[in-house]
């Protein structure tokens, strides 16, 4: 969508306020709320929230659906089979969740359908919902929720840095490069609380 079309649609943000890393959009809390309000079905909201509250890779969430035994009600234990990413720093890990995350994962595992197998379809959905929410759709994709979650945790819990990058399956160097020093405000931090509170 070109600039003129976007502006004529009355988008509710300034391009200069958009946070991005490695050509991927990172949401502020109010942007997540706006996007969720634009998602038409509760089932889709749940799938979006699973990706957000776990910070897991898209393929990992797809595989989790086939392996509900990876979730013990408290933590998601991702085996080597979960990611199969050739360059994965940590091949097996435990994904820590707060109370909301646990409920979201439990609901997802009981749902009738998993995410679309083709992540391009999910990207199209996210961008369509973003336009409906009056958010610029640029750079929004399957990595957005993962990068958003990790950057929120690092910003909100700077004392839990090691726990965060181990849970996310990133090396310390990757986390330092991509998730520190992002331009979140004190208001963003206040609004993050309802999402990240209780994570450990």
Tokens of 187: 């208001």
Tokens of 130: 């973003």
Tokens of 175: 């986390």
Assigned domain for 10 exists: no
Assigned domain for 39 exists: yes
Assigned domain for 127 exists: yes
C-alpha span between 23 and 144 (Å, rounded): 10
Tokens of 43: 């089932």
- Judged by phi (left if over 0) then psi (alpha if -120 to 50, else beta), residue 22 lies in left
Q: Structure pTM?
A: 0.88
Assigned domain for 18 exists: no
Q: What is the mean pLDDT of residues 135-154?
A: 94
Q: What is the pLDDT of residues 8-38, one digit of tens each?
A: 456 656 666 789 888 899 999 999 999 999 9
Q: What is the pLDDT of residues 99-136, one digit of tens each?
A: 999 999 999 999 999 999 999 999 999 999 999 999 99
Q: What is the mean pLDDT of residues 86-111?
A: 88
Contact of 115 with 142, CB cutoff 8 Å: no
Q: What is the mean pLDDT of residues 168-172?
A: 73
Assigned domain for 11 exists: no
* CATH number, domain with residue 68: 1.10.443.10
> What pLDDT is recorded for position 17?
78
Assigned domain for 169 exists: yes
Nearest of 40, 35, 65 to residue 50 by alpha carbon: 65
Note down the domain range covering 152.
23-196
> What pLDDT is recorded for position 14?
66
CA 9 to chain centre: 26
> Packing angle between helix 172-179 and helix 161-168, nearest 10 degrees?
100
Total count of domains within the chain? 1
Assigned domain for 50 exists: yes
């Amino acid at each position: 969508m070109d600039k003129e079309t976007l502006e004529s649609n009355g988008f509710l943000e300034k391009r200069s306020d958009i946070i991005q890393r490695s050509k991927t959009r990172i949401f502020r809390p109010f942007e997540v709320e706006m996007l969720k309000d634009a998602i038409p079905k509760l089932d889709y909201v749940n799938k979006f929230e699973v990706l957000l509250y776990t910070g897991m890779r898209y393929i990992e969430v797809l595989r989790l659906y086939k392996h509900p035994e990876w979730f013990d009600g408290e933590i998601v234990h991702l085996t080597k089979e979960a990611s199969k990413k050739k360059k994965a720093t940590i091949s097996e890990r435990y994904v820590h969740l707060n109370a909301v995350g646990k409920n979201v994962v439990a609901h997802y595992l009981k749902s009738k359908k998993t995410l679309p197998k083709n992540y391009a379809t999910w990207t199209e959905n996210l961008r369509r919902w973003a336009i409906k929410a009056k958010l610029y759709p640029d750079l929004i994709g399957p990595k957005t929720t993962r990068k958003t979650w990790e950057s929120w945790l690092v910003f909100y819990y700077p004392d839990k840095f090691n726990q965060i990058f181990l849970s996310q399956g990133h090396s310390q160097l990757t986390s330092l490069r991509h998730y520190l020093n992002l331009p979140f405000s004190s208001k963003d931090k206040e609004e993050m609380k309802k999402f990240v509170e209780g994570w450990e």
